[in-house]
């Protein structure tokens, strides 16, 4: 990895990781090029800030789960190629039921992603108690492919990760009171530690200031050292 990048696991191993693009459980239905390991990699300042967020949430019995962190530029190029292929009905129902596949760019998926600069992260909140008081669901209109259940510890955010729909907007009308409160809590605690939410996706945050604001990296995500 370039200087200044770290594995989140080496900074805080208590943060849950569900790196979707390293496997088939994502909107493309297959592992994405560039993800040689299911690991969160970030610039060191962003990783340290997430460690602080995790510590603050622990006092409330909550924690973080990350879905995506640094994203190689080659992965973004793979998304562009995917968008030109015929739609898969199961994946459409799970990730973009009300938006045609050829309309996802640039409305929902950027052709150059801030993730490739190493300071952006997609994440949610989880309940750390042994028996979660909140029965979570993938929420909203997005329905995951059969057999792919969301973890019960995930707080209910109203939609799942990578639901390409207007309901995924952080301040979207039409979600429940508890879903709105959960989103507001995530935004608040992340903001307190230097992260800015992207209004179009409740799960997407960027760390400020970025150390590489003009650089889009393409090194593959490597396994974490053991």
Catalytic residues: 201
Cβ 111 vs Cβ 80: under 8 Å: yes
In 140-196, which ranges are continuous DSSP H helix?
177-191
Q: Does an H or E element contain 212, and which?
A: none
Backbone angles phi, psi at 63, to 5 degrees: -155, 180
> Helix or strand or coil: residue 42?
strand
Nearby residues of 29 by Cβ (< 8 Å), 6 or more positions away? 88, 90, 91
Cα dist from 155 to 8, 16, 56, 139, whole Å: 22, 13, 17, 10
């Amino acid at each position: 990895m370039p200087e200044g990048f770290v594995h989140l696991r080496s900074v805080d191993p208590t943060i849950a990781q569900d790196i979707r693009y390293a496997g088939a459980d994502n909107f493309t239905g297959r592992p994405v090029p560039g993800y040689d390991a299911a690991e969160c990699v970030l610039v060191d300042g962003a990783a340290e800030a997430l460690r602080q967020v995790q510590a603050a949430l622990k006092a409330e019995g909550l924690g973080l789960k990350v879905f995506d962190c640094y994203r190689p530029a080659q992965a973004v190029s793979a998304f562009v190629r995917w968008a030109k292929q015929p739609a898969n009905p199961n994946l459409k129902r799970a990730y973009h039921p009300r938006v045609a596949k050829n309309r996802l760019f640039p409305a929902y998926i950027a052709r150059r992603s801030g993730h490739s600069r190493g300071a952006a992260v997609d994440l949610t909140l989880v309940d750390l108690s042994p028996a979660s008081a909140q029965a979570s669901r993938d929420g909203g209109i997005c329905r995951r492919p059969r057999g792919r259940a969301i973890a019960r510890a995930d707080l209910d955010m109203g939609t799942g990760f990578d639901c390409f729909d207007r309901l995924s907007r952080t301040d979207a009308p039409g979600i429940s009171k508890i879903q709105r409160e959960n989103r507001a809590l995530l935004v608040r605690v992340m903001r307190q530690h230097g992260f800015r939410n992207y209004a179009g996706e409740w799960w997407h945050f960027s760390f400020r200031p970025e150390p590489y604001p003009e650089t889009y990296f393409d090194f593959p995500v490597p396994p974490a050292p053991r």
